[in-house]
Amino acid sequence: AEAFELNRPFFKHITTGRPFVTAKFAMSLDGKIATVTGQSRWISNAAARRRVHHLRNRTDAVLVGAGTVIADDPSLTTRLPDLSPDSIRHPLRIVADSRGRVPLSAKVFDPDLPGQTVVAATELIPADHRRELVERGVDVWLLPANDDGRVRLSALFDELGRRGILTVLVEGGSELLGACFRERLIDRVWVFIAPLIIGGQQAPCPVGGSGYTLLSHAARLGRIHVELIPADDDESAPPDMWIQADVSYPEEEVCSPVLSRKLVQSNHLLKSMADGR
């Protein structure tokens, strides 16, 4: 089983040319990632957040949307003070920002950060903003746009595959996660559920976008692992719940007949390995 997990990104890459993609989000028991006022720090406990950094430490790239950077201003580095600096790996930081909305003052653009930052943009990004990003050491990739002007995510993952990126962690926000699920790009989920009820019809949920119109089209979860994560800084606090699960999609043509066939072949190959065949 351990060998299977280690080799999944490799087999995904050789069968589809794309990386193995994990979606990560933390939410309350009623499915909210923030309050109606936007407060989101911290929904998950410290032990759960530390587990995310361990996942970053073995991931090639981290992907977030422009809205998440604007709202939360994350650095997207790996912070594990218990490990030696030589043991820490900082994944490639990717910001999907088609129009160059993220301000240059964002932490993720700090030239002193370890590792590399990439902005996945389209031709809509202003030339001066692109130039200033490059001057800060940020790589800017110009990618095709969807009809709504946003970065075509399939093109982004194709580019990552061409560059030898085998694993990607998508950390939000909800519109980006919704688009990734809609385009069938997610292979696995890491979900942290906090023992909270936030409420509010306008409070955001983790997966946004247009969604699936029919239940028969919805993404399915399998090989589900559930674990309780105690709050190590407060013995009286109830634990968070961590769910890891594989994601599968109804078999129908997506993007192109060739890619659809490759995705089906990849799923069959991975299932055979999991079953020990």
Query: Which whole number is the average pLDDT over 233-253?
Result: 84
The answer to whether the beta carbons of residues 202 and 35 sit under 8 Å apart is: no
Task: Count CB-CB contacts under 10 A for residue 225.
Answer: 10
For residue 14, the domain's CATH number is 3.40.430.10
The answer to whether the beta carbons of residues 197 and 32 sit under 8 Å apart is: no
6-15, 208-217, 232-241: range with lowest mean pLDDT: 232-241
**Lookup result for tokens 């968070």:** 240
Q: Provide the sign of the torsion angle of the four alpha carbons 122, 161, 254, 62, taken in this order.
A: negative
pLDDT in tens, 68-109: 999 889 898 888 777 777 777 889 999 999 999 999 999 999
Phi/psi class of residue 97: alpha, beta or left (left: φ > 0; alpha: ψ in -120 to 50)?
A: beta
Tokens of 57: 């430490």
- Which pLDDT does position 78 carry in this prediction? 82
For residues 146 and 153, what is the distance between their CA atoms, to the nearest angstrom? 9
Tokens of 267: 């799923």
The crossing angle, in degrees rounded to 10, of helices 257-274 and 2-16 is 170
52-61, 210-219, 227-236: range with lowest mean pLDDT: 227-236
Q: Is the pLDDT of residue 1 over 80?
A: no
- Which pLDDT does position 257 carry in this prediction? 43
Q: Is the peptide bond before 173 cis (omega within 30 degrees of 0)?
A: yes
Number of structural domains (the chain) is 1
For residues 256 and 114, what is the distance between their CA atoms, to the nearest angstrom? 38
**Mean pLDDT in the chain?**
87
Print the SS3 string covering 151-181. ECHHHHHHHHHHCCCCEEEECCCHHHHHHHH
Task: Give me the helices (H) in 35-148, please.
Answer: 46-57, 66-72, 127-135
| Nearest residue to 157 (alpha-carbon basis) of 271, 255, 245, 73 | 255
What's the Cα-to-Cα distance from 153 to each of 2, 64, 96, 229, rounded to whole Å? Answer: 30, 12, 9, 33
User: Which residues, in sequence order, are CB contacts of 163 under 8 Å at separation 6+?
Assistant: none
The answer to whether the beta carbons of residues 238 and 179 sit under 8 Å apart is: no
Model confidence band, residue 156 (pLDDT cutoffs 50, 70, 90):
very high
Q: Is the pLDDT of residue 260 over 50?
A: no
Tokens of 213: 């119109």
Model confidence band, residue 252 (pLDDT cutoffs 50, 70, 90):
low
Question: What is this structure's pTM?
Answer: 0.84
| Nearest residue to 118 (alpha-carbon basis) of 99, 137, 146 | 137
- Domain that residue 71 falls in: 2-274
